[in-house]
Amino acid sequence: MKVFNKKFNSDELDINEIIEVLRLQQAPFKTKTQDHVSSILEEVFTRGDEAIKEFSLEFDGLDISSLDEARIDSKLINNSKSLVDKETFISLKKTYKRILNYQKTLLPSEKIDNNIIRKNIPIESILIYTPGGKALYPSTVLMAAGPAKAAGVRNIILSSPSPTKSLSPIILAACHVAGIDEVYCIGGVHAIAGFVFRNNSLPNVDKVVGPGNKYVAEAKRQIFGMAGIDLIAGPSEILVIGDNQTDPYSTALDLMAQAEHDEQACSILVSLDQEFTNKVESIINNEVETLERKDIIKKSLLDNGFIINLNTIEEAIDFSNKFAPEHLHLKLKDSSRIMDKFIYAGTILIGDDSANAISDYSLGPSHILPTSASARFSSQLSVNNFLVHPTVINLNKEELKGNYLDLLEDTITLSKAEGLSAHTKSAIYRLKKLKG
């Protein structure tokens, strides 16, 4: 079997040309997708409950007479503990505790000085969107709820598509562990619209977080402004950088682990050694047949898998920082020594022990990460995504003394320069009072 359809060499294409090819293939939104999402949003905005019910039946097979039927009874959530095996439930609890503890360490300090205070105010209500489809993601429930709980968000709602008026016991168990008792079994664009627009029976939220397919991502983009969003996530991606000292077997497993998310997942191997990449390909060929999601892995690697052979570590650094992957795994002999040169990525994994599988499931930092080069300007979901920071300004001219005079004089100078005479007059008035 041909594992990777797409291979590049820096002797044939320069770094910028390779990145252009990759990003063109990963273009997140097409006109048809945008138009389709817009039409659904408009229907929900216009017709409220009726549109949500119709789309739930059309897209998810959920037949309900009212949106209340889409809410899952809290008793089912509380009883979910008995429906999953003990080991799984314990792992959910341990993982959630790690996430919560880590996120609490990220809480910023409020006070700046005696006159200016940066407040930390939790968002009142959020929606955690959890994908349905080909896999279950209880880990996403924990990775989204933990930061929100650490921030102090009071109302956390979870929604995930299902035709059965319920969700998988393991998803409900994750909700139970995270203290989420308001759960709905609707999904897709119409769900996003329903929780954001105020013309229907679903509770209104201030922010939408969590991953989804391209339609959910586009819906989040279009509703931004009516509600906040965490980020617009494209297909999941990993960039592994290795050399002749790298373990080819673990590298093959790590690439397949990424590829099994879905057919659109992007797995890239950057290598400084051709023989190493040949070994990785051979191992994947042998091992993929042993995996449950082998068909997904094969298609993902064929369509969105890349091998890039480079000549120097400097080329690898340049490529990585420009590509800005969701996950960056440095498996080089001297990874620790040069890791500071790799600056743009959602998560940076150092050394073979730092498996992406661990990062995805059981570590403290959230696995909800920027994709499609957005790591160049955004970061993983954290407690800070659930806080707003109003600034409290309490100036006292007696305490500030000469500093208050400086503030007034600079205000007068700059407001005159901008032609805003009311600002100028306001400052002059206080200056006159100060001088008596």
Q: Is residue 225 a contact partner of residue 196, using CB atoms and an 8 Å limit?
A: no
Q: Is residue 230 a contact partner of residue 209, using CB atoms and an 8 Å limit?
A: yes
Q: Which of 190, 261, 327, 329 is catalytic?
A: 327
**Residue 352 class from Cβ within 10 Å (0-12 exposed, 13-18 middle, 19+ buried)?**
middle
For the question of residue 326 being annotated catalytic, the response is yes
For the question of residue 292 being annotated catalytic, the response is no
Spatial neighbors of 307 by CB under 8 A, at least 6 apart, are 4, 6, 7, 8, 268, 269, 271, 277, 281
Identity at 1, one-letter amino acid code: M
Q: What does the radius of gyration of the chain's CA atoms come to, in whole angstroms?
A: 25
Distance CA 111, CA 119 (A): 7
Q: Is residue 57 a contact partner of residue 188, using CB atoms and an 8 Å limit?
A: no
Q: Is residue 372 a contact partner of residue 266, using CB atoms and an 8 Å limit?
A: no
Spatial neighbors of 330 by CB under 8 A, at least 6 apart, are 241, 338, 339, 342, 348, 349, 350, 351
Taking alpha carbons only, the member of 298, 81, 273 closest to residue 172 is 81
Q: Write the CA distances from 216 to 40, 107, 126, 221, integer angstroms.
A: 11, 29, 16, 9
Q: Which of 218, 260, 326, 329 is catalytic?
A: 326
Distance CA 55, CA 52 (A): 5
Task: Report, as residue numbers or ranges, the catalytic residues.
Answer: 326-327
